Amino acid sequence: MTDEKKVLFSGMQPSGYVTLGNYLGALNNWTTLQYDYNSIFCIVDMHALTVRQDPAKLRKAARDVLMQYLAVGLDPEKNIIYFQSHVPQHAELSWILNCYTYMGELNRMTQFKEKSQKHADNINAGLFTYPVLMAADILLYQTELVPVGEDQIQHLEITRDIATRFNGIYGDVFTMPEAYIGKTGARVMALQDPTKKMSKSDENANNTIAILDDPKQIINKFKRAVTDSGNEIIYSDDKPGIKNLLSIYCAVTGKTIKEAEKEFENSGYGDFKIAVGEAVVAKIEPIQKKFEEYQKNKDYIDEIIKTGAEKAERIAEKTMRKVRRKIGYPDKIR
């Protein structure tokens, strides 16, 4: 990593599958950002524990997400790619920051409110302090930019509040991070209900496309996608179904909305939906091929996992040494 570039940090939970929404909204943008920033891409397996997980599934999902990071084109030489749980400094800083975060602040988090409704039988303390762990993720690496979706802006704001409070007491320990809101990131909506976001935790499998879905299945899901009344293929808020399909089409082909509208001027909804499905498959198939190669190459992936954790830990430990001293932990005798 060179020093002139800004530090960029982002993370994704290894729960369920990586969806087309995750890909077009985040991962695909990261593949361009990696050239302009010192980027750190984390797989936040500790955050995943805030809902009950099957251990074998979690272990596999975490590794699969890492291989998908690589398959979409994130370069492990250029970036730091690692599992959050491999760097214990995340847990350590998270505890400390808990003591500099108010219950009232956490009570206001909309994601906490939503998730506690959804998991009413398991409103655990981790779910409540989730944003503090996220703050630790970001602050450990002296991050300047955090590419996040709209739904994470509130978490970034609390991170800034915690950093400001901590720096106010102890001097400049943490770099102040900023949200990086990509201009190109497509917001992909559920195929059967285009008024809500495509989500990996959706119970209806027809709503989501996983980037590892079988191509035939992908085409079928697009064939079944909900459209709107009328028959024109135009980008308009009164046509949420067509609007979603057009923006997916443009995101995977690189075409503009205007170009796409023109291209489908004389097409019916049926043909259009198949064309979108095929364009998605064309974009995703090479990623699937790479993923399959990585699956066969255990040693190579193990090596990336090992070096990723080492590189991350070196930076995280540097921040922690400062933090431990500042807050008054006794010096460790070595």
Q: How far is the CB of 135 from ligand TRP (least distance, A)?
A: 8
Q: Helices 298-327 and 269-296: crossing angle, nearest 10°?
A: 90
Q: How far is the CB of 12 from ligand TRP (least distance, A)?
A: 6
The answer to whether 11 contacts ligand TRP (rule: CB under 6 A) is yes
- Establish whether 197 is a catalytic residue: yes
Q: Which is nearer to ligand TRP, 41 or 222 (CB)?
A: 41
Contact segment (CB under 6 A) with ligand TRP among 9-17, 95-103, 203-211, 278-286 equals 9-17
The strand order across the sheet containing 7-12 reads 80-83, 38-43, 7-12, 145-147, 178-180
- Establish whether 200 is a catalytic residue: yes
Q: By CB under 6 A, how many residues form the interface with ligand TRP?
A: 13
Distance, CA of 154 to CA of 10 (rounded, Å): 15
Closest residue to ligand TRP using C-beta atoms:
11
Q: Contact 211/287 with Cβ under 8 angstroms? A: yes
Q: Which is nearer to ligand TRP, 155 or 243 (CB)?
A: 155
DSSP tag of 329: P
The answer to whether 10 contacts ligand TRP (rule: CB under 6 A) is yes
R_g over Cα of the chain? 21
Q: Percent helix, strand and coil across the chain, each rounded to 5?
A: 55, 10, 35
Catalytic residue among 200, 255, 290, 322: 200
Catalytic residue among 113, 183, 197, 322: 197
Site residues for ligand TRP, 139-168, by CB under 6 A, read: 146, 148, 152, 155
Q: Tokens standing for 97?
A: 């920051």
Q: Provide the Cα torsion 164, 50, 119, 207; round to 10°.
A: 90
> Which one among 9, 141, 272, 291 touches ligand TRP, defined by CB under 6 A?
9
Q: Which is nearer to ligand TRP, 33 or 138 (CB)?
A: 138
Q: How far is the CB of 158 from ligand TRP (least distance, A)?
A: 11
Site residues for ligand TRP, 31-70, by CB under 6 A, read: 44, 47
- Establish whether 115 is a catalytic residue: yes
Burial 59-73 (b: 16+ CB within 10 A, else e): eebbbbbbbbbbbbe
Site residues for ligand TRP, 101-140, by CB under 6 A, read: 134, 137-138
Task: For residue 34, give the nearest of 12, 62, 6 by alpha carbon.
Answer: 6
Q: How far is the CB of 137 from ligand TRP (least distance, A)?
A: 4
Q: How far is the CB of 9 from ligand TRP (least distance, A)?
A: 5
3-class SS letters over 45-96:
HHHHCCCCCCHHHHHHHHHHHHHHHHHHCCCCCCCEEEEHHHCCHHHHHHHH
Q: How far is the CB of 46 from ligand TRP (least distance, A)?
A: 9
Distance, CA of 8 to CA of 91 (rounded, Å): 20
* Active-site residue list: 115, 197, 200
Residues that bind ligand TRP (CB under 6 A): 9-11, 13, 44, 47, 134, 137-138, 146, 148, 152, 155
